Each structure stands twice: as C-alpha cells, then as structure tokens.
Amino acid sequence: MLNAFVIGIGATLFMDLWALFQKRVLRLPSLDYALVGRWAGHLARGHRFTGHVTKAEAIPNERMLGWAIHYLTGLVLAVIFLAIAPANWIQAPTIGPALLFGAISVLAPFLILQPGLGAGIAASRTPKPNAARIKSLVTHLMFGFGLYLSGVAWVTVSG
C-alpha cells in the first residue's frame, strides 16, 4: 500500500503540474475542483442534476472536497495500476505499462466525471468536444508518465 500511496500521490502531483503549465504557459483553462466537490457533495445528499454543475447550489468546502476526491482518485488508480502491472514493475518501472494505463484511465472522466458535471459523455456537450477529449487524454497520459516517474523516484529513494 505504501508503494501505491507514493506513486499515486506522485503521479497526481505530476498531472497537476502539467495542468499548471497548461494554464500559465499555454493559457488553457484547467478543471475547477470546486465543481468536482460540488458534484460529489450533491450526490452524497442524494441529488442528481441533469444540467451543468455550475448551476447547482454551492456546498460548504466544495473546493477542498474536490481536491481530496482528485487525490483519492489518483491513489485508487495507482492501486489498480500496481495490481495489473507486470509483477516486477515496482522494482524496475518501465514507461510502457504506465503510459498505457494513463491512456486507459481517461475512461474515468469520459464516462463518470464529465457526464456528472454536465459536459456529457466524453465532453459531448461542450463547445469543442474533440479539443476537450484530446486535452483529457493528454492529461491522463501525463498521469501515466507521472506513475512512471514516481515509480523510478520511489525505487531510487527506497533502494
């Protein structure tokens, strides 16, 4: 579990650094995790909405909740990755399985988060769905690259 914790946090942090780069350098907006918290908070209260989550009433601490869900998701994905990765991956990380898993992990926002936020399956209800899809895929490839980098760093540090 320690491996999954370190690698999951590291990969999620790397993905966040990528989002910061996109926002600051490329001037691309990033996901507002307050909206993730708002969506999850309303779901926990038994409320589902069919419109966009921005039209839902704000909930207390939604930004903190959204960020917690974001990092918890990274941890869960790392657990899944380590469970299906080649047996010796944690001793000798390779980039291929990590990038493949990152690419596959884009199914989570396509099928769960984006519809939940009101953007439709695979961002189908957004003004530029293909651009949103590509951005999501690249972001999740960065998560996969972060899995690899975190694995290499963890092996180096832990010996």
CB 19 within 8 A of CB 31: yes
> Would you place residue 54 in the very low, low, confident or very high pLDDT band (cuts 50, 70, 90)?
confident
3 state SS of 24: helix
Q: What residue numbers bound the domain in which 28 lies?
A: 2-158
The Cα 7–Cα 82 span in angstroms is 9
pLDDT at 50 over 70: no
**How many CA atoms does the CB half-sphere of 79 hold within 13 Å?**
9
pLDDT(7) > 80: yes
pLDDT one-digit tens code per residue, 93-134: 999 999 999 999 999 999 999 999 999 999 999 999 999 999
* Band of pLDDT at residue 20, cut at 50, 70 and 90: very high
Query: Is 45 or 111 the better-scoring residue by pLDDT?
Result: 111
Of residues 55 and 68, more confidence is placed in 68
The 10s digit of each residue's pLDDT in 60-81 is 999 999 999 999 999 999 999 9
Report pLDDT for 48: 74
The domain tally of the chain equals 1
Residue 157 pLDDT > 70, yes or no?
yes
pLDDT at residue 49 greater than cutoff 70: no
- Whole-prediction pTM: 0.92
